[in-house]
Structure 1
Amino acid sequence: MHNTVKTLGKETIIYSISNIIIRGCGYLALLLQTNILPPSAYSIVIEFYGSYIALGHVLYDLAMDMTYFRFVHRLGKQHTFNIIVTILLVSSLIFSILLILYTPQIAKLTNHLAHMRYFYYMAGILMLDTLLMIPYANLRVEKKTLWFLLVKAVQACAGIIFSFILLYCPVALRCIAYGMYHYLHLPVHLNGIDAVFIATILSNITALAFLLPNFKGFHLVWNKRTMQTIGGYAATSFCTMLFVRLNETLPLLLFRKLVPNNFYSAHTKEEILANFGTACKLTVCITLGIQAFKHAAEPFFFAHLGRKEALKLYRQTMHLFILTSCFCLLLFSVNIDWVAKILIPNPRYRHTIDAVPYLAFAHIILGVYYNLSAAFKLSNHPRYNTWISALGSLVIGCTALLLIPKLGHWGCVYASISGAATMGLLGYYTGQKCYPIPYHKGSFLLLLGCFLALHPIVLWRNTLTFLGAGWSYALLHTIILVTFYRIAIRWKKV
């Protein structure tokens, strides 16, 4: 038992390190890109990666990574690998052909007729990501966590290297354009946006080269009965993932269509979209911790199922999650100005920084919902997770339609918070019926108090300017530390 827990902890740390490395490399690539591309151009990258490619991943993946974990021990590793990779090869090939054939119609629908070739890049990126998914899952099954971390790091570093070469060495783009004309007879003038997409494709190809040994013994398998069983299991997870991804992408997806052209006096809506998309990435300071928690939480929930102290442990887990998250969020909000200057040095991309703490708060609510949704898994009612995610998407969509035309990017923020809050409330009341856990109401009051404190924190910092920047920051940090210390001591006694 001790060795199992130790192994689980080791793997969780390694996967967390992997996430940190990938996000860190992603930020370096972001700095390279935003240093060259103006906000009006980078808004296209934000829209494609933040909306179309993000949704495309769900469609291409078909929740087959989770399905692989479910069937690999039942059907055998090689047979499961062969049959799932066969499904993904056929489905991704069909999706890519349809995407290429209908690109003109899709470009017209999304107002990107001038950027049609970016959809062709998208088809290649999604196809390669799909080919990488099951080999990565196989490394996790085989407990090759260090090799998993190494290949992920190589892929992320390759993205930085190729981004630098293509963005800062124009001759490299000209060589690619010449090759496309000479071999494919496609006359095209490549720019910085092309460089971002091409760098992603090349980094994926690099990772695929490292993962080729995982395809040893692979051959196409077509077993209708087994495929029906696998498909039936994957359908629920696919629907849940689709709605979860819609929750993340809907505001960005609707922003450019709903905001009036002259809404912002000093900037175009495309420039604000680039700013807002960049600001969304700053929430990584909060989301990395939430992701690390998710890696450890699910096995913990199931490991203690049926034990006498299970309900108490689940309640304490929620307390600890909310206390830690709220503490980190308030400290993050106090320091957001200088954090943004370090992570986004280009001032042209810092016009929507004030929205970042609220976006981080929405992620914390989703983390609370993840805790609450454990009741559905523990009671074998996973369909509730799908329905609640669907309702969350509906609330986000309706709120976005109402608020984005009036409030601009703040409409996106409030839509995200409203959808997350809806999921949290429904998760609590539905979970109490499926698997009652006596959560302490004080923790939810702390969550509400943290939200109400976000706006005054900015006002207090401005109000305390007579103390000087250093003393005002010290006072706010002291207040937060003392407040949460007292809350933690009181909860420990209870």
Structure 2
Amino acid sequence: MHHTVKTLGKETIIYSISNIIVRGCSYLVLLLQTNLLTPSAYSIITEFYGSYIALGHVIYDLAMDVTYLRFVHRLGKSYTFNAVITILLVTSFIFSILLIVFIPQIAKLTNHLVHIRYFYYMTGILILDTLLMIPLARLRVEKKTFEFLLVKFLQSFAHIIFSFVLLYCPICLNSIAYWISNGLHIQIALNELDAVFIANLLSSVTALALLFAQFQGFYWVWHGHTMAMIGRYATTSFFTILFFKVNETLPLLCFRKLVPNNFYTTHTKEEILGNFGTSCKLTVCITLGIQAFKYAAEPFFFANSDRKEAPRLYSQTMYVFILVSCFCLLLLSINVDWIAKILIPNARYRYTIDTVPYLAFVYILLGIYYNLSTAFKLSNHTQYNTWISAWGSLVIGLTAFLMIPRFGHWGCVYASMSGAVAMGLLGYYMGQRCYPIPYPKQGFLILLFTFLVFRKIPLWRTQLAFLGIGWSYICLHTTILILFSILAVIWKKSTKLKK
């Protein structure tokens, strides 16, 4: 069993390294954007990518990546790949036609009539990313880690190059406008925001070209029984993922509408939204690990579901996840000030960095819920996932409605945290009824302890100021390292005793 957990850990580390490289490239793109755009202009990027494109991905993807992982071993790699790709090609075409037809109404509803062309860019991004999804999932299933990492890296590197060229070489952007004018007979003046979307489109095209070999031998599959079976499983997973994504995006989606115009004395609410969107990206060290864990854990959970010791295996996985996540959160809380100065050199974007540890804590809670939701997947009660996610959306919506007008961007934090806590508690209760897993209670105590500690870290830094900045940081880091080392040793000894 320890060997199996170690294998999962190794795969998580591999994906973490790849994600660090990819996110490092994304950070460079962020630097290029924030160096040129004002916080008010960047708020448009935050809203489109943080809300509209994020939700669009869920609708276009239709949970087919999870469905592919579920059926690939049952129906065969080639057949499952072709069946899922067939579904996505048909649905993407339908969704894109509907989206293009209703873009004027959507732009009016979201108060973005001035930015209506960005919705057309969004459509292209959604189509390309949907086509990339299953080939990347196929590489994960086939354990072609190097190929997976290479594609992700080259896509990210292309994003940097295209962003730099389009943002800082106006002649290139003007050339694209000239091509659109002559080729499509549409007169348009492109700006820096256009460059952001176009760079994304071009990087996705690059990744699709690299994965073109995955589509060789593709044939249409439309067998009624297969499609019905895939559709039944995907439907429940789709609504679960949809509500889950609504939980993430709803506070940002509501921010501009709920915050009064004169709420902030020194900033406009658009500038705060741009700041807050940047702060969300500073949780990168936590979100990277959780995303890497998901990449490795999805095949792992399904592959080990038939083993007798599976419940205890999942219990150990949860404890390790909490231990590592909490350790990283405390390190982030201690160092967030100087990390922000390095990663966001433009001081205009550092107004909301005090929210970063709380945002990271929310992602950890969602990662814990992801572990808990394993019980629903393995017991074929995935509908509970949907209802719990819907419950989280309701809690977040109500909290956002009450908190955002009163607390501004902190209301977004409170809403997200309340929804994650509600989902975690209900997920634990329902999961134990469907598929009992003996989760170690000390893991949840560590989580509570971490929350209480990181809220006091700014106070501790003040109280240890007499040691000097350097020694106070050393003292805090050493204390956390010793504490979590002791917890890890105790866990290792207890698991040996249980064998």
Q: TM-score range by the shorter chain?
A: over 0.9
Matches of 1:304 and 1:208, distance apart in 2: 32
Matches of 1:4 and 1:321, distance apart in 2: 15
Work out whether residues 139 and 145 of structure 1, in 8 Å CA contact, stay in contact via their aligned partners in 2. Answer: yes
Matches of 2:79 and 2:297, distance apart in 1: 30
- Code of the aligned partner of 1:181: S
1:215 — aligned with what?
A: 215
Deviation string 1:416-436 (CA, Å, 9 cap, x unpaired) is 111110111111111222223
- Pairwise CA distance, 1:394: 1.2
1:240 — aligned with what?
A: 240
1:81 — aligned with what?
A: 81
Query: 1:484/1:69 Cα in 2 relative to 1: closer, same or farther (>3 Å)?
Result: closer
Larger deviation: 113-122 or 454-463?
454-463
Is 1:365 equivalent to 2:374 in the alignment? Answer: no
Two-structure CA RMSD over aligned residues (Å): 2.4
Matches of 1:311 and 1:64, distance apart in 2: 26
Aligned to 1:217, the other structure's residue is in SS state coil
1:58 — aligned with what?
A: 58
1:475 — aligned with what?
A: 475
- Pairwise CA distance, 1:412: 0.6
Is 1:203 equivalent to 2:203 in the alignment? Answer: yes
User: How do residues 396-475 of structure 1 correspond to structure 2 at under 5 angstroms?
Assistant: 396-475=396-475
Query: 1:76/1:491 Cα in 2 relative to 1: closer, same or farther (>3 Å)?
Result: closer
Work out whether residues 163 and 199 of structure 1, in 8 Å CA contact, stay in contact via their aligned partners in 2. Answer: yes
User: How do residues 109-128 of structure 1 correspond to structure 2 at under 5 angstroms?
Assistant: 109-128=109-128
Query: 1:185/1:297 Cα in 2 relative to 1: closer, same or farther (>3 Å)?
Result: closer
Query: 1:492/1:154 Cα in 2 relative to 1: closer, same or farther (>3 Å)?
Result: closer
Matches of 1:215 and 1:106, distance apart in 2: 34
1:344 — aligned with what?
A: 344
Matches of 1:86 and 1:491, distance apart in 2: 47
2:146 — aligned with what?
A: 146
Aligned residue-pair number: 494
Query: 1:415/1:4 Cα in 2 relative to 1: closer, same or farther (>3 Å)?
Result: closer
Matches of 2:166 and 2:225, distance apart in 1: 47
2:263 — aligned with what?
A: 263
Deviation string 1:145-192 (CA, Å, 9 cap, x unpaired) is 322221211111111000000001010111111111111111111111
Larger deviation: 299-308 or 315-324?
299-308
Work out whether residues 15 and 296 of structure 2, in 8 Å CA contact, stay in contact via their aligned partners in 1. Answer: no
- Pairwise CA distance, 1:129: 1.1
Work out whether residues 166 and 173 of structure 2, in 8 Å CA contact, stay in contact via their aligned partners in 1. Answer: yes
Work out whether residues 14 and 149 of structure 1, in 8 Å CA contact, stay in contact via their aligned partners in 2. Answer: no
Matches of 1:490 and 1:76, distance apart in 2: 43
1:22 — aligned with what?
A: 22
- Pairwise CA distance, 1:389: 1.3
Matches of 1:122 and 1:304, distance apart in 2: 39
Deviation string 1:341-378 (CA, Å, 9 cap, x unpaired) is 11111111111000000011111111222222222233
- Pairwise CA distance, 1:384: 1.5
Larger deviation: 28-37 or 137-146?
137-146
- Pairwise CA distance, 1:140: 3.1
Work out whether residues 332 and 357 of structure 2, in 8 Å CA contact, stay in contact via their aligned partners in 1. Answer: yes
Work out whether residues 8 and 297 of structure 2, in 8 Å CA contact, stay in contact via their aligned partners in 1. Answer: no
Deviation string 1:75-101 (CA, Å, 9 cap, x unpaired) is 444443333222212211121121111
- Code of the aligned partner of 2:54: A
Work out whether residues 5 and 317 of structure 2, in 8 Å CA contact, stay in contact via their aligned partners in 1. Answer: no
Aligned to 1:335, the other structure's residue is in SS state helix
Is 1:180 equivalent to 2:210 in the alignment? Answer: no
- Pairwise CA distance, 1:309: 4.8
Deviation string 1:296-334 (CA, Å, 9 cap, x unpaired) is 445554565565655444433333322222222112101
- Code of the aligned partner of 1:374: T
Query: 1:114/1:456 Cα in 2 relative to 1: closer, same or farther (>3 Å)?
Result: same
Query: 1:18/1:106 Cα in 2 relative to 1: closer, same or farther (>3 Å)?
Result: same
Work out whether residues 14 and 146 of structure 1, in 8 Å CA contact, stay in contact via their aligned partners in 2. Answer: no
Q: TM-score scaled by structure 2?
A: 0.92
Aligned to 1:102, the other structure's residue is in SS state helix
- Pairwise CA distance, 1:10: 6.2
Larger deviation: 73-82 or 141-150?
73-82
2:34 — aligned with what?
A: 34
Matches of 1:230 and 1:132, distance apart in 2: 19
2:379 — aligned with what?
A: 379
Work out whether residues 167 and 192 of structure 2, in 8 Å CA contact, stay in contact via their aligned partners in 1. Answer: yes
- Code of the aligned partner of 2:398: C
Aligned to 2:455, the other structure's residue is in SS state helix
Deviation string 1:438-484 (CA, Å, 9 cap, x unpaired) is 33333322212221222211122123333321122223223323433
Query: 1:348/1:61 Cα in 2 relative to 1: closer, same or farther (>3 Å)?
Result: same
Deviation string 1:44-69 (CA, Å, 9 cap, x unpaired) is 01110111001000101111122223
Work out whether residues 365 and 420 of structure 2, in 8 Å CA contact, stay in contact via their aligned partners in 1. Answer: yes
Is 1:134 equivalent to 2:119 in the alignment? Answer: no
Query: 1:207/1:315 Cα in 2 relative to 1: closer, same or farther (>3 Å)?
Result: closer
Matches of 2:249 and 2:265, distance apart in 1: 26
Matches of 1:9 and 1:294, distance apart in 2: 11
Aligned to 2:211, the other structure's residue is in SS state helix
Matches of 2:492 and 2:281, distance apart in 1: 34
Matches of 1:61 and 1:173, distance apart in 2: 30
Query: 1:185/1:174 Cα in 2 relative to 1: closer, same or farther (>3 Å)?
Result: same
- Pairwise CA distance, 1:13: 4.4
Work out whether residues 118 and 197 of structure 1, in 8 Å CA contact, stay in contact via their aligned partners in 2. Answer: yes
- Pairwise CA distance, 1:108: 0.8
Name the % identity.
72
Larger deviation: 470-479 or 311-320?
311-320
Matches of 1:141 and 1:481, distance apart in 2: 35
Matches of 1:308 and 1:65, distance apart in 2: 27
Matches of 1:72 and 1:251, distance apart in 2: 36
Matches of 2:312 and 2:215, distance apart in 1: 45
Query: 1:143/1:491 Cα in 2 relative to 1: closer, same or farther (>3 Å)?
Result: closer
Work out whether residues 83 and 222 of structure 2, in 8 Å CA contact, stay in contact via their aligned partners in 1. Answer: yes
Aligned to 2:438, the other structure's residue is in SS state coil
Matches of 1:70 and 1:319, distance apart in 2: 25
Query: 1:38/1:139 Cα in 2 relative to 1: closer, same or farther (>3 Å)?
Result: same
1:226 — aligned with what?
A: 226
- Code of the aligned partner of 1:359: L
Structure 1 unaligned spans of 5+: none
Matches of 1:134 and 1:399, distance apart in 2: 36
- Pairwise CA distance, 1:3: 11
Structure 2 unaligned spans of 5+: 495-499
Q: TM-score scaled by structure 1?
A: 0.93
1:170 — aligned with what?
A: 170
